[in-house]
Amino acid sequence: MTHTIRLPTILRVHAGGDASVTARGATVGEIFADLGKRYSGLARQLLDPDGSVPVFVNVFLNDEDIRYLQGLNTPCSQPSEITILPSVAGG
Amino acid sequence: MSDELSTIHVSEAIRQVMVDHARDCYPEEACGLLAGQPDGRLAKAYPLTNIAHSPANYVIDPAEHFRTLRHARSQGWELVGVFHSHTHSPAYPSPTDVALAPEPDWLYVLVGMERMDTLSVRGFRIRDNQITETALSFEAALSFESHPQEERRL
In chain A, residues with a C-beta closer than 8 Å to the C-beta of B84 are: 90
Residues of B with CB under 8 A from a CB of A: 31, 33, 52, 56-60, 62-63, 65-66, 69, 82, 84, 93-97, 100-105
A64 touches chain B (CB under 8 A): no
User: pTM, whole model, 2 decimals?
Assistant: 0.88
At A25-80, the pLDDT tens digits run 999 999 999 999 999 999 999 999 999 999 999 999 999 999 999 999 999 999 99
At B56-76, the pLDDT tens digits run 999 999 999 999 999 999 999
Categorize the per-residue pLDDT at B141 as very low, low, confident or very high, splitting at 50, 70 and 90.
low
Query: What is the mean pLDDT of the segment spanning B31-50?
Result: 96
β partners of residue B94: none
**pLDDT over 60 (residue B150):** no
- How many other C-beta atoms can be found within 10 angstroms of the C-beta atom of residue B124? 25
Using CB atoms within 10 Å of the CB of residue A89, give its burial: 0 to 12 exposed, 13 to 18 middle, 19+ buried: buried
In chain B, residues with a C-beta closer than 8 Å to the C-beta of A63 are: 66
Q: Residue B102 is nearest to which of A65, A83, A86, comparing CB atoms?
A: A86
Categorize the per-residue pLDDT at B115 as very low, low, confident or very high, splitting at 50, 70 and 90.
confident
In chain A, residues with a C-beta closer than 8 Å to the C-beta of B53 are: none
Task: DSSP for B31-63, please give it.
Answer: EEEEEE-TTS-EEEEEEE-BTT--SS-EEB-HH
**C-alpha atoms less than 13 angstroms from C-alpha of B85 in its C-beta half-sphere:** 30
Nearest CA to B100 out of B60, B134, B133 is that of: B60
**B128 against B139, higher pLDDT:** B128
CA–CA separation, B72 and B36 (whole Å): 8
**pLDDT over 50 (residue A19):** yes
| Element spanning A58, H or E | strand A57-61
Instruction: Tell me the nearest-neighbour CA distance from A38 into chain B, angstroms.
Output: 23
Q: Between the CA of residue B106 and those of A8, B58, B134, what are the distances in Å?
A: 11, 17, 11
Tell me if B83 sits within 8 A of B32, measured CB to CB.
yes
